[in-house]
Homo-oligomer: A and B are copies of this chain.
Amino acid sequence: MQRPIRNIIKGENPIEKSRLKPWQLKLHEIIFEADTVAGKTFDLALLGAIFTSIVVVMLESVDYLNAEYGTLFITIEWTLTILFTIEYILRILSIGKPVYYIFSFYGIVDLVSTLPSYLGLWVSGGHTLSVIRALRFLRIFRILKLGQYIDSGKIITKALVTSRHKIIVFMFAVLTIVMIIGSLMFLIEGDIEGSGFTSIPRSVYWAIVTLTTVGYGDISPTTALGQTLASILMVLGYAIIAVPTGIMTSEMISANKEVSNHRARSCPNCSFEGHDDDADFCKKCGHTL
């Protein structure tokens, strides 16, 4: 029953498939699916291309590497950009209603992460645009359709979705704590010479840095009162991490059960469900499974 949603995300529409010409069906199988050898090969090649492209984006930003290997980077980048463009066009061609793909999540990611290279030709400030190519990383999530990762992804997503209300309530509590303690800290340390607590937003930023136990140390309290308040905030942050963890774990346990139950065999005699994978006989009536 989750198919429709996945289809929207992936930009597919099974009903339209029958309208496709044979070469489109073949192409669809290679590009969108991962059940055939050709499909898997395509996915792995795409994975390699995406990784290479991201490494180039990263290395290009390192000044001394760009000075040395600039031409190489540009060559690789343009080769991959052209390949990604061809891939994008083929994806549109191999689908019944292209509009489904174009406005799907991955369709937009595909476009947005390819465009910047072209825009850089006309628009100045290409430097800025090229960074957007890092979004290509999102495309890697397509490989999750490979094999065993579908179930894992489903369980994690299911647990996150089910627990969203609790997570939001928790987030509000966190926000309230950092707002109030941040403001208090501004009161306490705000007027001290050389203190980092120069405004409430900065103090709230410090409170977030502290509560989440990141602790850069770029701003830190210097008065006894400030350090006491900071200690309370730290212990609070250390303890309340248990809340999202507790939420997530309890959801994960039930998500785990539910997904694994879908595979559960039922006894042909007494229809009892929930047999172990290695069971040969029903544990309730002793009938052969």
Q: Which residues of A contact B (CB under 8 A)?
A: 54, 57-63, 128, 131-132, 134-135, 137-138, 140-141, 144, 148-149, 151-153, 155-156, 159-160, 165-172, 174-176, 179-180, 182-184, 186-187, 190, 198-202, 204-205, 208-218, 220, 224, 227-228, 230-231, 234-235, 237-239, 241-254, 256, 275-276, 278-288
Q: Write the nearest CB–CB distance from A70 to chain B, whole angstroms.
A: 14
Q: How far does the Cβ of A276 sit from chain B's closest Cβ, in whole Å?
A: 6
Please give the count of copies of this chain that the complex contains.
4
Cross-chain contact A242 with B248 (CB below 8 angstroms): yes
A57 CB to nearest B CB, Å: 7
**Min distance, Cβ A49 to any Cβ of chain B, angstroms:** 16
> Which of these, B137, B171, B248, B281, contacts A246 with CB under 8 Å?
B248
- Please, could you name 28 A-B residue pairs with CB atoms under 8 Å apart, sorted by A? A62-B200, A131-B187, A134-B179, A137-B176, A141-B176, A144-B169, A152-B169, A153-B169, A155-B166, A156-B170, A201-B227, A208-B231, A209-B230, A212-B235, A214-B237, A217-B218, A239-B244, A241-B245, A242-B249, A245-B249, A249-B250, A253-B253, A279-B283, A280-B285, A280-B286, A281-B281, A281-B282, A286-B286
Residues of B within 8 A of A141 (CB): 172, 176
Contact across chains for B285 and A201 when beta carbons are under 8 A apart: no
Report the Cα distance A88→B81, complex, angstroms. 55
Q: Distance in Å from the Cβ of A198 to the closest Cβ of chain B?
A: 7
